[in-house]
A and B are shown apart, each in its own frame.
Chain A
């Protein structure tokens, strides 16, 4: 069965960086992409960006350009999302979700979520 298992909760200080992992199983990793979606406390869902596990292409939300980097390790079927220069409003639950390999579509499988808390 398809599973996306994310790394554990993180607490970071403002200005630091965080890197969240998302290990996929149950499907051919390189036949799909991974999108990252976050939810701040009391807020809705916000798409952060996408990476193709097929060819490594990326597409980031404009508001995060320059602060976010998404990568994959096809040898371990793992996707990573790194967010730098963290601010308090980056406090959120971060989800990885399976997407299409060449563009962003709907998200049929999701990781369990990783809480990232940014606090001094």
Chain B
């Protein structure tokens, strides 16, 4: 199985500041035939189901604010929130779908400083 490792485990950022979450896979999730990274990001708030933010590493899901962006390729990926809002407090997960089973990172808890 591909192991996904996120860093940091928790993060406190001031309102309006940038938040950066990293995700590293134990093997490449870049499929050479289509040059796509099989990597998604989710936001999970207490009492709610997870919400898809990004897929193919950097494609924003419909309705997701443009302050959320994804970057990276191969084994190293980053989720960036450009200007943190109060409603962004949540746990964020990366997930690879390059191979089965799909696997998630352990999660990064984002709080307001």
Contact of B49 among A35, A46, A61, A95 (CB under 8 A): A95
Closest-by-CB residue of A relative to B103 is: A47
Residue contact B52 to A108, C-beta cutoff 8 Å: yes
Residue contact B104 to A47, C-beta cutoff 8 Å: yes
A106 and B50 in contact, given A47-B102, A47-B104, A61-B101 (Cβ under 8 angstroms): no
A105 at the interface (CB under 8 A from B): yes
Residue contact A44 to B105, C-beta cutoff 8 Å: yes
* Chain B residues, CB < 8 A from A95: 49-50
* Chain B residues, CB < 8 A from A46: 104
A97 CB → nearest B CB, Å? 8
A16–B49 CA distance with the chains assembled, in angstroms:
26
Residue contact B52 to A106, C-beta cutoff 8 Å: yes
* Chain B residues, CB < 8 A from A110: 49-51
* Chain A residues, CB < 8 A from B103: 47
Closest-by-CB residue of B relative to A93 is: B49
Interface size bracket, A side: 20 to 34
Residue contact A45 to B100, C-beta cutoff 8 Å: no
Can you list 24 A-B contacts with CB-CB less than 8 angstroms, sorted by A residue number? Answer: A37-B50, A44-B104, A44-B106, A45-B50, A45-B93, A45-B107, A46-B104, A47-B104, A61-B101, A103-B100, A104-B97, A104-B101, A105-B38, A105-B55, A105-B97, A105-B102, A106-B52, A106-B95, A106-B97, A107-B50, A108-B55, A110-B49, A110-B51, A113-B49
A residues adjacent to B (C-beta < 8 A) = 35, 37, 44-47, 59, 61-62, 95, 97, 103-108, 110-113
B residues adjacent to A (C-beta < 8 A) = 38, 40, 42, 44, 49-52, 55, 61, 93, 95, 97, 100-107
